[in-house]
Amino acid sequence: MALFNHVSFDDHEQVVFCHDKESGLKAIIAIHNTNLGPAVGGCRMWNYDSDDEAINDVLRLSRGMTYKNALAGLTMGGGKSVIIADPKTTDREALFRSFGRFIHTLGGKYYSAEDVGTTTADIMIAHEETPYMAGLEGKSGDPSPFTALGTYLGIKAAVKHQRGLDSLKGLKISVQGVGHVGYYLCKHLHEDGAELIVTDIHQASLDRVATEFGATVVAPQDIYTQDVDVYAPCALGATINDTTIPLLKATIVAGCANNQLAEVRHGEVLKELGILYAPDYVINAGGIINVSFESDYDVAKATAKVEKIYNTLIKIFEQAEKDNRTTGDVADEMAREIINAAK
């Protein structure tokens, strides 16, 4: 299990492996870059098939946070943590107390928060052991509605750039995953007049969006082949890959999931096919933007900053078109300029 020559290692500043026999905690904390400030990024709890899969995930996710925080204009570095365990584990108190104690040993170099498989309640437990937790109940709270708002505005920016339209009325949008963010995203899209085609592996979540927003439900494997204008990946990562790209009829890929491209080269494949891709870490920054206002929480200020995602994406789309480059490439370069200037 080599780290420094791992394919996803990207000059990460610090990677911490945490084990506590008593609680059964197995976690990895990755601090990618702190040029802009303390590293901030959520904690994912997942049944990884191997340690290597967990390492790969935490290395990629933490790097993504550095770029995300930089382009969102935040004075925060990038980090992320993963807990290797079944996200449905019911006995969570000892686990998250132990996790909180490990976070505390880093002395504020890394702040953790909720992510896939963890809840605000888990974060509150860890917070009893350390102040270095973000997205707390009674403060900025659930980041998902803000992530959804940013993603919705990102979809609008893509539609504006590609088709010159200011409304989503009559457009067909497929949403893969109608969980925390997906639900609120569907609400925005529905209110803007879009026709929704959704999938999930959780029936109750599907029933809710079908009832409330008139969404058409399809089986998980059928989401890629839908005749839609926009495909919004809002479940897990790597759904843009060699198998799925040839199936897509959408001319825009814009959703909230992290690490949507299985490999960087898939950004190039999308571009060659004329599919406009909204870089994931730019479009899904709404939640972390909201969290960044936590110390002196002001919903209006947080919302105004989330709304800037629209213009940031327009800038990226225009530059990519001008230079004949991928949108991911342009976003990375813009982020690196900010990170290096802060060194």
- Known catalytic residues are 80
230-233, strands of its sheet edge to edge: 216-217, 195-199, 172-176, 230-233, 252-253, 276-277
Select the residue interacting with ligand NAD from 65, 70, 82, 181 (CB under 6 A). Answer: 181
Query: Does residue number 40 form part of the binding site for ligand NAD (CB under 6 A)?
Result: no
| Dist CA 312 CA 330 (whole Å) | 11
Which two structure tokens, joined as six digits, stand for 96?
Answer: 């998250």
Stretch of residues binding ligand NAD (CB under 6 A), selected from 6-14, 22-30, 199-207, 304-312: 199-207
**H runs (alpha helix) in the chain:** 51-71, 93-105, 120-127, 144-163, 180-191, 203-213, 265-272, 280-283, 286-292, 299-306, 308-323, 327-341
Specify the DSSP class assigned to residue 232. E
| Dist CA 63 CA 281 (whole Å) | 10
| Dist CA 244 CA 108 (whole Å) | 41
Asked if 28 contacts 99 with a C-beta cutoff of 8 angstroms, the reply is no
β-sheet bridge partners, residue 111: 40
Asked if 137 contacts 120 with a C-beta cutoff of 8 angstroms, the reply is yes
Specify the DSSP class assigned to residue 222. G
Stretch of residues binding ligand NAD (CB under 6 A), selected from 95-103, 163-171, 224-232, 234-242: 234-242
Q: According to CB under 6 A, which residues from 287 to 306 bind ligand NAD?
A: 287
Query: Does residue number 62 form part of the binding site for ligand NAD (CB under 6 A)?
Result: no
Select the residue interacting with ligand NAD from 220, 241, 243, 272 (CB under 6 A). Answer: 220
Stretch of residues binding ligand NAD (CB under 6 A), selected from 8-16, 71-79, 170-178, 261-269: 170-178
- Whole-number minimum distance, CB 1 to ligand NAD, in Å? 24
Stretch of residues binding ligand NAD (CB under 6 A), selected from 9-17, 228-236, 310-318, 325-333: 228-236
**Total binding residues toward ligand NAD, as defined by CB under 6 A:** 26
Select the residue interacting with ligand NAD from 32, 63, 109, 180 (CB under 6 A). Answer: 180
Nearer to ligand NAD, 307 or 321 (CB): 307
Query: Does residue number 168 form part of the binding site for ligand NAD (CB under 6 A)?
Result: no
Nearer to ligand NAD, 38 or 177 (CB): 177
Query: Which H or E run contains 84?
Result: strand 77-84
Q: According to CB under 6 A, which residues from 138 to 167 bind ligand NAD?
A: 143-144, 147
Here's the x/- map for ligand NAD, 243-262, by CB under 6 A: it reads as -------------xxx----
Query: Does residue number 39 form part of the binding site for ligand NAD (CB under 6 A)?
Result: no
Q: According to CB under 6 A, which residues from 92 to 121 bind ligand NAD?
A: 115-116
CA distances from 179 to 57, 182, 185 (A): 20, 5, 10
Query: Does residue number 77 form part of the binding site for ligand NAD (CB under 6 A)?
Result: no
Select the residue interacting with ligand NAD from 34, 205, 251, 326 (CB under 6 A). Answer: 205
Query: Does residue number 41 form part of the binding site for ligand NAD (CB under 6 A)?
Result: no
CA distances from 84 to 30, 45, 47, 256, 270 (A): 14, 6, 6, 23, 33
Which two structure tokens, joined as six digits, stand for 78?
Answer: 């990038």
List residues binding ligand NAD (CB under 6 A): 115-116, 143-144, 147, 176-182, 199-202, 205, 220, 234-236, 256-258, 284, 287
